[in-house]
Amino acid sequence: MNPKYEYRALLACDIAGSAGRGEQRLQEIRGVLRSALLDAMGIADLDARDFAYADTGDGCQLVAPAGLPKARLLFPLLPELSYRIREHNRHAGADTRLRVRAALHAGDIRLDPDGTVSGAPFEALARLLDSAPLRHATLAGTSGTQVTAILSHHYYEETVGHGYEGLEADAFTAADVRVKEYAARAWLWYPGSPVGPRVDSGREAGSGSGEPPAQPEPRAVEQLVRATGNGTVFAVHRGDQYIRHNDRG
C-alpha cells in the first residue's frame, strides 16, 4: 500500500521542568498529565479513541481525526485541562506539581501503512516549540502556570475570530518566532487572557460593523513577562514518529 496524505490538526503537550525529578516522580506526573488530558477531552466531547496518540517521554502528541474542526482542540479543551492540572497542584508536593506546555498546528501529514506519520507540519511545530521568545517567557514567574499554549499563525487564522464559541482574538498575544531557517508569526494563549468568554474585553457588544476583531501587535518578550508573569516552551519529537492507534472495543 502507498502512503497517503491527509490534513490533520496536531496537539502536543509537554511537562515543563520534568528533568531531575527521578524515574518514580516522572512516571507519576506523566500519569497525571495523561489522566487530566483524557478527562478534559471527555468534557470537551472528544472521543480519545478517534485520536492517534504518541508518548514523547515527558509529554504526548495527539493527531486529530480527519475532519475535526480545529477550534475543538482549543475550547473548552484547554481551559478544562488547565482546571484539572490546577486542582492536582493544589494538593501535590513540590516534586509532583505540573506545568504543561501545549502547541497546536495543522497541515497535510503523511500516513504510512505501518502507522508512521511524518511531514512538514511536524517540523513547523518543532520550530515553534524551540523558539527563543517561548524559552525566555517560560522562565518568568516563581511557580509558572498550569497550561500555556502556542498556535501557529495558520491555526490561529482558521479558528480565532471566526465566531467559534469561546474564542476571542484578544485572548491571544502575537509573537514572532525565528528558529534557524524558520520565521513566522505565532500566537500565545497565556494566563490572564484565557481561551473563553471575556469578562471585560473593553469592546462594545453588538456593534453590527461586521468587521473581524483587530489583531494585537506582537509583544516583546519583556512585555509578555510583565503581562503574564510566565510563559511557555514546547517540545515535540522531530522527524518520523510511530503513532499507536487505539482500537475501539
Which of 61, 181, 177 shows the shortest CA–CA distance to 109?
Answer: 61
Q: C-alpha angle 53/56/62, rounded to 5°?
A: 30
Strands 100-111 and 147-152: parallel
pLDDT at 109: 95
What is the tens place of the pLDDT at every residue in 156-188? Answer: 999 998 888 888 888 888 888 888 888 999 988
- Say if CB 233 and CB 134 are below 8 A apart: yes
Question: C-alpha grid cell for residue 168?
Answer: 476571542
Domain ranges of the chain: 4-196+215-240
pTM beyond 0.85, yes or no: no
Q: Where are the alpha helices (DSSP H) in the chain?
A: 23-43, 77-91, 120-129, 132-138, 153-157, 221-228
CATH class of 4-196+215-240: alpha beta
Distance (Å, whole) CA 39 – CA 212: 33
- Say if CB 245 and CB 52 are below 8 A apart: yes
Residue segments in the chain with a per-residue pLDDT below the cut of 50: 194, 196-249
